[in-house]
Amino acid sequence: MMPFKPVLLWTDLLIFLLFAGVAAFALYVRRHEHLAASWRRVVRDPAGMAALVVLVAYVAIGLMDSVHFRLPLANHGGETGRYYSAEVLSLLDVVASPLREHVEKTYSAPFATHLYAKEAIVLPDGRRIRGYPRLKYGGAQLAHPERERGPDILYTALAAAGKAALLWALLGYGLVQWLARRQRRSAAAVWAAMWRGGGEIPWRSLLATLGAILLLVFLAIGLGPKYHVLGTDKVGQDVFYQALKSIRTGLVIGTLTTLVMLPFALLLGIMAGYLRGWADDVIQYIYTTLNSIPSVLLIAAAVLIMQVYIESNPDLFDTVAARADIRLLFLCIILGVTSWTGLCRLLRGEALKLRELDYVQAAQAFGVGHWRIISRHILPNVMHIVLISVVMDFSGLVLAEAVLSYVGVGVDPSTQSWGNMINSARLEMAREPMVWWSLLAAFVFMFGLVLAANVFADVVRDAFDPHAEARRIPSAVLSRLFGRRPDGESHG
């Protein structure tokens, strides 16, 4: 008998499928030189690689949060069989169980030891006073929080930093040894090259970003169980935990929406451009019409219909998580259905151009069929546009989720998401004294993801855009190549 019951939510399934798809694509790229060459340009870019490390950290948390299961309930009084808790947990919940379980009464500020609001406290001697009660978990280990809190935070943080530095040094050492063996050079030479920032892969920026992330992880591990590092919300839940849980929602929206949108955009866009004639007219009218309906209106209508459907069929979903999940999935689908028009338009234009190219005409002169021409000649030659627009759209979709949830047509209120956090912060900002940490936490986490995604998207676009052929060459490379910078040269 298994000690737990695995639960496969719809979005989990799709996320793992997507992950497998990305892995398969990576294998395909390795075998195709013209694709590999472009990706090599991405790999060589220091900013791009730093952004990629940050993205990988986010994705790792998101994937951990996508492994769901239900724990068994303890058997009471000789019941036979196993009963599972109605609460669906994820791997992340288990790893971060101190965060999940340390629920206070209500608001508390980051690193606080007392509640944020005054309450009536019963003293041991029976007197009643109004004051700030101690928190149940935040800084509970301290006898004299006023004196001990500062040093305790400092020592814990230093210890965490020490551990992070140790692990980082170990990883760095392993990397240098591995590279030295692979390149058949001395470890010292490899280290020197890495430190100067030369070489094919920007190891220096990779290691630096990794170091920063390790530091953050160890700080969280060290301080998380002792304090509420980002405070608690109205019902006393740890805000840091909420922000972590929101990562999966953001990633799901950013990636699955694309998955929904791609078939529409690819099929319709290429068909319109390649076939021309009435097919083109029909498709153009469809997306022009769709584009002229305000998308928030469309999304709101669809979400409301969905909500009614879920509520009138409660027996379809056995847990709250499954309900929230289906709503998340439908939000992705609706966002996808309303957002394919931009890419479709781009692809139509590109297909219009490609169909007049000589190699397509040559294929037609051989009597090659339309589908074969589309799949062998048109599709591979528009893939760079698809890739660029998918990566660029990702951050926009993450932000869109926040906006939609704020408006109230986003994810289920029980789903942790940055949008929901911001939505609740709307009231908190109006309180006196102000509760600012929910908003800040959502902002910082979202900012990290979106910034990394944007930087990465820029690098991908530069690498794949055929118009960026005359690439800017860094002046450092120029001066290295030419030895010196001649006088009187103003450009460069």
Question: Which range in 1-9, 249-257, 373-381, 402-410 contacts another protein by CB under 8 A?
Answer: 373-381
- Total count of residues recorded for the chain: 492
Angstrom distance (rounded) from CA 165 to CA 160: 9
- Residue of 200, 197, 220, 243 whose CA lies nearest to 65: 243
SS3 9: coil
Question: What pairs with residue 134 in β-bridges?
Answer: 114
Q: Is 368 in the site for another protein (CB under 8 A)?
A: yes
Any bridge partners for residue 7, and if so which? 68
Closest CA to 401 of 424, 418, 423, 425: 418
Using rule CB under 8 A, residue 491 touches another protein: yes
Check residue 201 for interaction with another protein (CB under 8 A).
no
Is residue 146 involved in binding another protein (CB under 8 A)?
A: no
Assess 367 for contact with another protein (CB under 8 A): yes
Task: Say whether residue 470 binds another protein (CB under 8 A).
Answer: yes
From the CB of 333, what's the least distance to another protein, in Å?
Answer: 31
Is 364 a binding residue for another protein by CB under 8 A? The answer is yes
Question: Is 467 an interacting residue with respect to another protein (CB under 8 A)?
Answer: no
Looking at the Cβ atoms of 124 and 486, the one nearer to another protein is: 486
* Residue span 21-50 as binding mask against another protein, x where in contact by CB under 8 A, dash where not: ------------xx----------------
- The yes or no reply on residue 277 touching another protein (CB under 8 A) is no
Q: Would you put residue 132 in left (φ > 0), alpha (ψ -120 to 50) or beta?
A: beta
Q: Does 358 bind another protein (CB under 8 A)?
A: yes
Compute CA 361 distance to the chain's CA centroid, rounded to the nearest angstrom: 43
Report CA-CA distances (Å) from 462 to 205, 391, 393.
19, 12, 16
Residue 312 or 490: which CB sits closer to another protein?
A: 490
Using the rule CB under 8 A, is 477 a contact of another protein? Answer: yes
Stretch that binds another protein, among 98-106, 112-120, 334-342, 482-490 (CB under 8 A): 482-490
Per CB under 8 A, does 492 bind another protein? yes
What is the distance between the alpha carbons of residues 386 and 461, in angstroms, rounded to a whole number? 11
d(CA 116, CA 239): 14
Q: How far is the CB of 271 from another protein (least distance, A)?
A: 19
Residues facing 238 on adjacent strands? 232
Burial of 466 (0-12, 13-18, 19+ CB in 10 A): exposed
Give the nearer residue to another protein in terms of CB position, either 78 or 466.
466
Report the C-alpha gap between 229 and 113 in whole angstroms.
11
Which among 448, 451, 471 has a CA at the least distance from the CA of 461?
A: 471
Contact pick of 372, 408, 414, 447 for another protein (by CB under 8 A): 372
Q: Report the distance separating Cα 73 and Cα 70, nearest Å.
A: 9
Task: Please report, as residue ranges, which positions from 377 to 396 form the binding site for another protein (by CB under 8 A).
Answer: 377, 380-381
- Least Å distance between CB 273 and another protein? 17
Stretch that binds another protein, among 284-292, 321-329, 355-363, 449-457 (CB under 8 A): 355-363
Pick from 17, 86, 362, 429: which binds another protein (CB under 8 A)? 362
Whichever of 125 and 200 has its CB closer to another protein, that residue is 200
What is the phi-psi region of residue 199: left when phi exceeds 0, alpha when psi lies from -120 to 50, beta otherwise? Answer: left
Question: Reduced to 3 states, what is the DSSP secondary structure of residue 7?
Answer: strand
- Which residues here bind another protein, judged by CB under 8 A? 33-34, 357-359, 361-369, 372, 376-377, 380-381, 470, 472-473, 477-478, 481-482, 485-492
